[in-house]
Amino acid sequence: MGVRRFLLACAALFSFALAWNGLLHLVVLRAAEAAVRPLYRPDLADRMWLSVLAAVATVVVYVAGYVRFARSGSLREAIGYGLFFAAVAGVLVDLNQYVLLPIPGRLACLWFLAGVVEFTLYAVIVRRLVRTAAGAEG
C-alpha cells in the first residue's frame, strides 16, 4: 500500500470522526451527557488539542491495523474488523470510564453502542479506500 493511499484513508476517517463525534456528543447525546458535565475539566478548551491528537492517533492505528490484517478486502471482513476494534476500544475506554468515574451505566452503554456504529462505519470507509494484499478493490 502506498503512503498516499494510507494518508488519504487517514484523512477521510479523521474528517468523518470529527463530524460523527460532533453530531453524537453535541446533538444526539447532549441531554444524556449532562450528568457528566460537572466532571469535565474547567480548562477543557485549553486541552482540546489533545482530543484532536487522540482522534488522529486512533484513525492511524485503525487504518494501519486494517492494512496489516485485512486479507480478502470483503465487506464482511471489514465489518468484522470494525466490530473487533469497537470491542477493544469499548473495553479500554467506556468500561474503564464507568469503573473509574461516577457516570451512569446507561451513558457508558450508549457510548459503547455509538462506538460500535462508528468503527463499523470506519470499516466501510477504509475498505473503499484501501487495497488489501489480495488486491481487492472495495
pLDDT digits 0-9 by tens, 40-58: 888 888 999 999 999 999 9
pTM over 0.85: yes
The H helix count followed by the E strand count for the chain is: 5, 0
Determine, yes or no, domain membership for 138.
Answer: no
Number of domains composing the chain: 1
3-state DSSP assignment of residue 103: coil
Residue 136 pLDDT more than 90?
no
User: Rounded CA gap, 80 and 86, in Å?
Assistant: 10
pLDDT at 133 over 50: no
137 belongs to a structural domain: no
Cell 503512503, residue located = 3
Cα dist from 41 to 33, 46, 110, 128, whole Å: 14, 10, 22, 38
Domain span at 82: 3-39+48-129
CA-to-CA distance for 104 and 35, rounded, in angstroms?
8
pLDDT of residue 132: 53
